[in-house]
Amino acid sequence: MIKLLIDAHVFDGKYQGTRTYIQGIYSAMITHKDIEFYFAAQNVSRLKSIFGIAENIHYIRLDATNSIWRLAWEYPRIIKKYKIDYAHFQYICPLIKCCKEIVTIHDLLFLDFPKYFPLSYRIKNRTLFMYSAKRADLLLTVSEYSRKEIKRHFKITEDRIYVTSNCVSMVNDKIGLTDVKAKYGLDKYILTVSRIEPRKNHQMLLKAFLELQLYKLGYKLVIVGAMDLKNKTFSTLYKSMTDEEKESVLIFQASYLDLVALYKQAALFVFPSFAEGFGIPPIEAVAYSCPTLCSNQTAMAEFDFFHECFFSPYDIRELKNKIMYFIQNDVTQICEALQKEIVARYNWKNVGEKLYQLIKDDKK
């Protein structure tokens, strides 16, 4: 029996892609009864609601709220107490190695696009990420793009880096979804989903929406996401808008069930990001049958099935032309073909099985 510890502290904070990754991969893996899973976080009740109760699933309540204390003291103590064989961390492993380590480096965007990240963040994380990556017994990432960047920046051979991609977690069709018109007052709307920060390029989408005067055609622009890093360009543009224009732009956070409903009922989803280590929202949107336009940069270029749904996040004219085409024409066939491709390619069961086999092979 293998004892596997999962650092799940990300479930205690604001929603981000690493939570989707951990939830997806381990929801698929926990069916393997020859592994005992130890999920660690402060909010244990939340973890139980996600991963359930089973003989091979255990929950450990973390005491530390400080990441340094958690990595320097609490995790080494937990590993020794429970006699853990493998521990899975996102980006950064503990200072002291007490068992075999699985480390997922989702991206190195702060090294590829430094202008979008504070200097202190870049200096600290370059050292910690590289230390963790080189020390890992199993080094994972989520895309071929990130795999190549880890190789380039940290001088690690590609055969040591395994891709366990993000996937789509489909909600059961029997679950009742939110009526977005009743709850949010939405009828026709264009949707985007991500934290509001410069790298995500919300300012380009907002500018395109305003220049096309889509609000005069009855459309609203819906941005689902929290303000993360200050985006001066976006803020300046928003402040310059008229009251009529501001009434057509909604910015809020939503539960995953609400998000699924928003995907399903949107006229169009647009993802204008400059850079991603993967890019979950556009494939989620397509999986839920939403017409989608996606940036063609960095890891998103691997979504080679998007074809005419791609656009350059540096070319607002191209984006405006594609928005108008997609809202004025029937794109049902395009959406159906994309949906089949994505559901087949990005499957958590397959990714979970890959990680399971990597652990079993390493254990031999």
pLDDT tens per residue across span 106-133: 999 999 999 999 999 999 999 999 999 9
Quote the pTM value: 0.94
Same domain? For 196 and 316 the reply is yes
Residue 127 CA to residue 6 CA, distance in Å, equals 23
Other C-beta atoms lying within 10 Å of the C-beta of residue 230:
10
| Contact in structure between 191 and 263 (CB atoms under 8 Å) | yes
pLDDT the model gives residue 176: 82
Residue 46: alpha-carbon gap to chain centroid: 19
| Contact in structure between 78 and 9 (CB atoms under 8 Å) | no
| Contact in structure between 58 and 84 (CB atoms under 8 Å) | no
Question: How far lies 61's CA from each of 44, 70, 77, 297, in Å?
Answer: 6, 12, 13, 40
Same domain? For 163 and 68 the reply is yes
Give one DSSP letter per residue of 202-264, joined into a string: HHHHHHHHHHTTGGGGTEEEEEES-B-S--HHHHHHHHTS-HHHHHTEEEE---HHHHHHHHH
- In this structure, what token pair is assigned to residue 61? 């309540």
Task: Residue count of the chain, please give it.
Answer: 364
Same domain? For 140 and 94 the reply is yes
| Torsion sign over Cα 13, 14, 15, 18 | negative
pLDDT the model gives residue 15: 75
- In this structure, what token pair is assigned to residue 359? 């652990």
Residue 254 CA to residue 262 CA, distance in Å, equals 9
Q: Tell me the residue type at 122.
A: R
Same domain? For 330 and 187 the reply is yes
Count of domains in the chain?
2
| Contact in structure between 231 and 203 (CB atoms under 8 Å) | yes
Answer yes or no: is 172 within a domain.
no
Same domain? For 102 and 246 the reply is no
Structural domain of 278? 180-345
pLDDT the model gives residue 208: 98
Same domain? For 191 and 76 the reply is no
Question: How far lies 353's CA from each of 24, 32, 167, 347, in Å?
Answer: 12, 9, 13, 10
Same domain? For 190 and 330 the reply is yes
Q: What is the CATH number of the domain that holds 7?
A: 3.40.50.2000
Tell me the pLDDT of the chain (364 aa) as tens digits: 999 999 999 999 877 789 999 999 999 999 999 999 999 999 999 999 999 999 999 999 999 888 999 999 999 999 999 999 999 999 999 989 999 999 999 999 999 999 999 999 999 999 999 999 999 999 999 999 999 999 999 999 999 999 999 999 888 776 788 899 999 999 999 999 998 999 999 999 999 999 999 999 999 999 999 876 678 899 999 999 999 999 999 999 998 899 999 999 999 999 999 999 999 999 999 999 999 999 999 999 999 999 999 999 999 999 999 999 999 999 999 999 999 999 899 999 999 999 999 999 998 7
Q: Tell me the residue type at 226.
A: A
Residues β-bridged to residue 283:
none
pLDDT the model gives residue 229: 65
Give residue-wise pLDDT tens across range 183-228. 999 999 999 999 899 999 999 999 999 999 999 999 999 999 987 6
- In this structure, what token pair is assigned to residue 129? 């990420």
Other C-beta atoms lying within 10 Å of the C-beta of residue 329:
10
